[in-house]
Structure 1
Amino acid sequence: MMKIAVAAANGKEGKLIVEEALKRGMDVTAIVRSENKTTAKKVIQKDIMDLTREDLEGFDVVADAFGVWDPAKMYLHSVTLKHLADILSGSRTRLLVVGGAGSLYMDKIHGLKLSETPDFPKDYLPVANGMGQALEELRKRDDVAWTYISPAAVFDPEGKRTGSYTLAGEEFTVNEKGESYISYADYAIALVDEAEKGNHIRQRISVRK
């Protein structure tokens, strides 16, 4: 039975990842700062920054669903991800990161990011830049079996669970209607699929409907 821990499990995406993993019969542990609000029975009640190497021993996968919106706290994306990578360094535990769409590339030569395009919403720039910086730092790690999973441009917390998605790579893609969309629920399916398969070690991938 696969053992998975979900960091920031009380968040909207974290809860759905917990639910999806439990549906598949996985051994799931929620990592939460406060009272557990997920469906997981096993809990580590700690701030991410207080987690130790010993806390995460024995897990096949750690899913990092951490996110902040306060522009003054964007540095926490890098700080928390580095801490998780540090305590997983050299272990066989894989680290799956709930990433952002802003860092997806708009061209084959990877010279332009979605967040750098003229129509990118200014309100989302801080989080796009914060998460993008964390990704760039993660790319330098060859001591951790990480996978960074970017959602579509429209990442819908209230969207339906359809059970299907399209897997893509580093470049921004759209569906046949020209849309870049994924629900939180379908993203959770994609992440747990990746947890099961482990096909993209030290790679950034992306998912959309």
Structure 2
Amino acid sequence: MKIAVVAANGRVARKVITEALGRGMDVTAFVRGENKTDAKKFVVKDIFDLTADDLKGFDVVVDAFGAWKPELLPQHSTTLAHLCDILVGTQTRLVIVGGAGSLYVNPEHTVQVIDTPDFPEEFKPLAGAQVKQLAELRKRKDVRWTYISPAGDFQADGERTGKYILGGEELTRSSKGESIISYADYAIGMVDEIEKGNHIQQRISLVRA
């Protein structure tokens, strides 16, 4: 299986690359500067400069773009739209590293995590950008996308337990009542989805078991 990882130098992306390589996948990292990943194959190119030819022949493209500076937050939507546009008409799947703020906390799907009283103010700009990103992605019927939200507490340096719960649109909790997942366990779940491709044009979520 041939995988392209875009914005590959990010911490989540690097975990995904390492996991995919460990399963024998053929991985190419797309980076803007120095390649900091474990991938031996890499392309130095900005996301907005990518073309259909750059992604031709890949089974799956992983969009791992992330930005935190206020002026860059809109790029969560614009970079994803660009990737969608250049994948139209292909069988290549697009798997997106998403956010947790858009997960629902009620069965009616009218209240999202970002809307809850305890949601930290400092994370609202990023979460809002990712909520908008997903809303726009849902309108795309011309791309084989899968959006993967992490648990509420997404831990960069958390342990790799090798176990996770596959959830859907709602915030899922473990048997301990926790919504936590490490980057390493998230990468396991993402690569499992890359292998299986069971959730085309769907949002799924991952939480530590």
Corresponding pairs, count? 208
Identity across aligned pairs (percent)? 61
Per the normalisation by structure 2, the TM-score is: 0.98
**Residue pairs, 1:17-166, within 5 angstroms:** 17-166=16-165
What letter corresponds to residue 190 of structure 1 in structure 2?
G
**Residue pairs, 1:7-22, within 5 angstroms:** 7-22=6-21
The secondary structure found in structure 2 opposite 1:57 is coil
Unaligned ranges ≥5, structure 1 = none
Q: Once superposed, which parts of structure 1, at least 4 consecutive aligned residues long, lie more than 6 Å away?
A: none
The secondary structure found in structure 1 opposite 2:27 is strand
The secondary structure found in structure 2 opposite 1:126 is helix
What letter corresponds to residue 88 of structure 2 in structure 1?
S
Matched, 1:177 2:165: no
Counterpart of 1:187 in structure 2 is: 186
Deviations 1:128-152 (A, max 9, x none): 0001101000000011000000000
Alpha-carbon distance between aligned partners in 2 of 1:113 and 1:90, rounded to the nearest angstrom = 32
> Comparing 173-182 with 188-197, which one deviates more in the overlay?
173-182
Alpha-carbon distance between aligned partners in 1 of 2:193 and 2:175, rounded to the nearest angstrom = 24
What letter corresponds to residue 82 of structure 1 in structure 2?
A
The secondary structure found in structure 2 opposite 1:130 is helix
Alpha-carbon distance between aligned partners in 1 of 2:65 and 2:72, rounded to the nearest angstrom = 12
What letter corresponds to residue 64 of structure 2 in structure 1?
A
Alpha-carbon distance between aligned partners in 1 of 2:24 and 2:92, rounded to the nearest angstrom = 19
